[in-house]
Amino acid sequence: MAPDDLKSLADAWLADDPDPATRDELTRLIAGLPGTEAELRDRFAGPLTFGTAGLRGRLRAGPNGMNLAVVTRAAAGLVGWLASQGGQGPLVIGYDARHGSKEFAEQTARVATGSGRDALVMPALRPTPVLAYAVRALDAVAGVMVTASHNPPQDNGYKVYLGRELGGPAGDGAQIVPPADAGIEAAIRAIGPIADIPLGSTGTLIDEKTVEGYARSAAAVLSADGPRDLAVAYTPMHGVGGATLLAAFAAAGFPAPAVVAAQAEPDPEFPTVAFPNPEEPGAMDRLLALAASTGADLAIANDPDADRCAVAVPTGDGGWRALRGDELGALLGDHLIRRGVPGTYATTIVSSQLLGRLCAARGVPYAETLTGFKWIVRAADELAYGYEEALGYCVAPGMVRDKDGITAALTVAELAAGLKAEGRTLADRLDELAAEFGVHATDQLSVRVDDLAEIGAAMTRARQAPPATLLGAPASVTDDAANNVLTFRTGAVRAVIRPSGTEPKLKAYLEVVEPVGAAGLAAARERAGRGLVELRREIAAALGV
């Protein structure tokens, strides 16, 4: 694109931008040419596209960012697409505490009401699972959640859910999937000048009874007569999950968790964590310190929009260990199977193979899907449970057809309290599963890039020269080119490689399975750990990273 064409694009966007703040931002960049050319090119490299259930990007002016102009067009495209599909009913809108979230939610409501559709807006900051619940509870045609989940503070996003009318039974209250995403994106591209989009009121506030209904329904997921003696330390990680989780724990009859005071209130800057994701090193340090100082039985963290749940357990030597997503996924699946919850148990192709082996042994229906909860919840109409290794768990698909960090927290608390009453722990149950099915040790190789072309180059290298062996055993390769997924495996080793759908990352999901032989469980875990280290090295070499 020639510099003059770039300036013309920027001038046209500037003239259409309804937000004074981003107009000023863009005006300064245009005035700074030619020194600001690289920055302008990045912002006009292309529009944000609908990826994993919507938009996600940096808060900044221009089409390649999250801002009021992009949100207005997205809302107009969405309501236009809903009308083109004959969808009836209101649009439900929620938002978290991130910069711009409330304003983006209100603008979405104005666009919806301006088109003649009712807009029902959350009465305040609420977790993503509450929005997903409200889509079903209020019989909405669709839902919008303004959140960037666990992304850095400078990001925001726009997740879209469909109600039963357009999503079908399996997709009632679930995130959008193709071809809906492409249809909405095409509708967005067809939107003319923003000034021509009719705007109405900011909608109707949803009654607090709906939010309270979520907490009651979450509590009802548990067995009514189970033990409740459990000391929990908790953090919402500067997000919006705290009040809702505490209400759900109270409704279920658990003692109130101790909460990390410095992270208890919503704060869009996430000041005490380098990265607001419980999976990131150091993110749970304050939680674990609180758990140790209060003598907690269990430590639980939600990510900022509370759709993910992380759990840590005491190690017996005064320390604490965060469970991997696959470990908690197996524990919750095993618990629900033992409770007799009927239906299909599902996970993704990159999660551990343990859940599948557990289901086979118990005679329970099992399914695997592509990565992402938009696929997991559609694994079966009668879904009992779904999880993905990135700390996402759906323990009550009849209530929330998405990952839900609050009902997951309640369910793991139920499991831990039941084990405590028997003088046992979550770690003990993991040992029992390992003794029965072998140690399933998992890890992840994650490479963040500045240039997305680096991901394509790494995938090409692995396709052209796949490893002949893994950990000394002959390896097979499966290339799902349509979904850009490479799988290398032997009888005891598996590596699944794919680009991230939400971040500029290349990810390799690693698993080593070791049977518990005569040497015992500790020896099997040590062998599996050594195997993971070597497998990581071999896969990194194959990718050239």
d(CA 286, CA 235): 9
Is 101 part of the annotated catalytic residue set? no
Contacts 24+ apart (CB under 8 A), 472-475: none
Task: List pLDDT tens digits, range 509-528.
Answer: 999 999 998 999 999 999 99
Sign of CA dihedral 213, 217, 219, 225: positive
Task: List pLDDT tens digits, range 395-444.
Answer: 999 999 999 999 999 999 999 999 999 999 999 999 999 999 999 999 99
> By three-state DSSP, how is residue 216 classified?
helix
Task: List pLDDT tens digits, range 218-276.
Answer: 999 999 999 999 999 999 999 999 999 999 999 999 999 999 999 999 999 999 999 99
**CB contact at 8 A, 252 and 410:** yes
d(CA 417, CA 412): 8
What stretches of 6-48 adopt beta strand conformation (E)?
none
**CB contact at 8 A, 345 and 395:** no
Any idea which residue has 């949803």 for tokens? 206
Say yes or no to pLDDT of 2 above 60: yes
CA quadruple 257, 262, 267, 272: dihedral, nearest 10: -120
Say yes or no to pLDDT of 51 above 70: no
Instruction: Band the pLDDT of 4: cuts 50, 70, 90.
Output: confident
* pLDDT at residue number 49: 84
d(CA 474, CA 491): 9
Say yes or no to pLDDT of 52 above 70: no
Say yes or no to pLDDT of 449 above 90: no
d(CA 336, CA 333): 5
SS (H, E, C) 13-73: HHHHCCCHHHHHHHHHHHHCCCCCHHHHHHHCCCCCCCCCCEEEEEECCCCCCECHHHHHH
d(CA 80, CA 116): 11
**CB contact at 8 A, 377 and 170:** yes
Catalytic residue among 101, 115, 149, 217: 149
